[in-house]
Each structure stands twice: as structure tokens, then as C-alpha cells.
Structure 1
């Protein structure tokens, strides 16, 4: 899942981005309203964490513009103000949820998960079952035959992205858009490398891989090997 974090305080942005990446989110960081609006217009995000008070343009303005052009991306708005009027203004501008600073990071994660579940085209369960695999979207753990697989956060993010589209062929560009952040190099083979790592960890020796390659198109996670 790729998230846009809009926070003008560098220290706070650094801490939040680090925490989100540790929970398998790909994170782009923006420090002002104009840049945030540009990123929203040019990148397909799964969610936005948006501070109200920003340079150049407020978070309220960013949210209103996003909704005015038809963007349905879930927005979690952050603010240091706790007045009822401020919360109402944030929700009326197009935010889906509201969190007042200071907040517990665990609560932010829970609210973000809830927004992404509600904002998806189809209901997203907390447990995804694909063949012998069981993915917990809350704990970010993957089990096979009741054993927890030792996946890195990026490996988990890639597997979850494929699991949410089980049976579909997903291109490298789409994978990069949602699993990697702006630091992704489209000329590299990093996606192929991570697919190979996943195969070594999730496949059963002697059976076909659960991740199929469609030459020139991308990858597909299947529920049962054939």
C-alpha cells in the first residue's frame, strides 16, 4: 500500500514515515500544500495522511481540491487543534477521518487500515487466504501450515498486493506504483529480485510456484498450483 504523508515538520515526518515503512507501507513525504496537490494529481495513492497546517496551501484546501477533481483516495487529516469546529471543517473539506495531535501511533495505524478497507473497490478482510498461505493484514504476518514465514516488510507488502488481486496478472508498473515509493528506479530489476525471494519462502519444494510470470505482462498469484 502506497501512502502520501503530508507533514511540514521534518522531524515529525521522519518519525511517521519510518514507522509506516516498518509496517509495510510505501511512503512518499510532502512538506507543503502545493506539492501535495501535485503528487495527488500525478500518483495513484492508497491513502493520504494530511496535516491541516501547511505552507503555501492548507490541508483543507488540498482535500477540497482532491474531491473537486473526483479523487476518491481515503484521507486521514491531522491537526494540533482539538476544537469541534476544526474537526467539522476537516470533514467537510473531504477528509474521511480526523486525528488530533498528539496521537498514539497505534491508533493512526488502526485508522489507516480502516480507511483503506473502506476505500477499496471490494471489502478487504483482515485475513487473506490464498492456497496454503494465510496473511494477516493487521499483524503483517504470513503463515503456511501454521508456521510464520520470515518475510521482510517489503516482501510482505508485495505478497499482500498480489494476494488482493489473486488470479490477476499485475504489471511491474502497477506493482511499483503501490508497493514502492518515489525512490523506485524503473530501470532496475528490484521487483524481479523480490519475486524470486518470495518464491523461495512461500513455495513448496517439488510443486509449481504460487507466483506465475506472464512474459511481457507481469506476475500473478494463484490460489492453487496446477
Structure 2
């Protein structure tokens, strides 16, 4: 092996180490790496899309009978004001931010997964109007599902069944408008992952997704 080839091997090994470290860091943050093209091993060629929303959703949920809840209203708010306001039969009110709502939904998903051997139990859980299911199928579940880190929720939510968790068809239709407004506020920023250009990129708004 000539010295030139040995030097090339060391350089490529170093590049692989850098790229591997970069890939692990990006995967840990929920970023999906694009495929490499042309055999290039310059990490500046890697880029990712960062999706943000300017608008979020506020849900108003009411306990209509013991353990049964319905969404009575949903509206568009600033994204950092997203929340679910829950009114109980005893007159108390509870406000859930997205993190608290996610914990309740995750617990419901776990409960349903644990009951997979009981088919009748599965059907009963699926039709349940408990608070966790109402959050999952309502605007809060939609908001959480848009987050790449919570996108697994989309597989548990059948949009064709969402209407049953609203107090009436008019409320459901208003909720669809709130979701549309949230989608329209989406901005996708393409960013290079490294290199001399730094973390600068171009932004574009999109109503899809």
C-alpha cells in the first residue's frame, strides 16, 4: 500500500467517524437523515427539514356523565398557548398542557396494548369516550401527532372516528377549521447539518401535512 493510499484511508476513516457521530446526534433528536448521493462524504452535504407551527389548538372538554367526555369547542391559538381545558361534573376545571395530555394518551395506548388478548375489551376501549381517548382523537391528539417525536400517535387515531368525540356536528366542523389553520401556519426550514456554511437555511411555509 503506497503512502498516498494510506493517507486516503486515514482521511476517509476520520470522515466516517465524524459522519457517524453526527448521524447519532441527529437521530437522537428525531431527525431523519437524507440518503447520500454521488458518493460524497462531506458532512456539509447532509441536511434536514425542521418543521414548526405558529398556530396551535385549544380544546374545551366537558364531562357529560361519569367518566364520559365530549369536546364542546376547539379554537386556534398561538402554538405555545395550546391546551385542553377540562370541566368535570363536580364543577372543577383542569387545564392540561400538551405534555400532560401526552402522558394521559400514552397511558391509554399502553392500556389498550395490554388488553390485546381480550378482543371484546379492545372493542370496548376503542369506543370509549374517556378523557384519554377524547384527547387522542381531538385537536390535542392532532397537534401532538404533528410533532415528529409523537408521530406514533397517528397510527392509533382513526380520523374517520373522530366525530363521535365531539358534542355535535357543528363543533366537529369548527374543529376541522382549527386544524386547517394550524396546518396553514406550518413552516419548514431546510438546514445544513454542518460545514463552513453553518446552521443557516431557507424557510418555506406549507399548508400540507
TM-score (norm: length of structure 2): 0.27
**Structure number with higher helix proportion:** 2
Query: Could you say which structure has the larger radius of gyration?
Result: 2
TM-score (norm: length of structure 1): 0.25
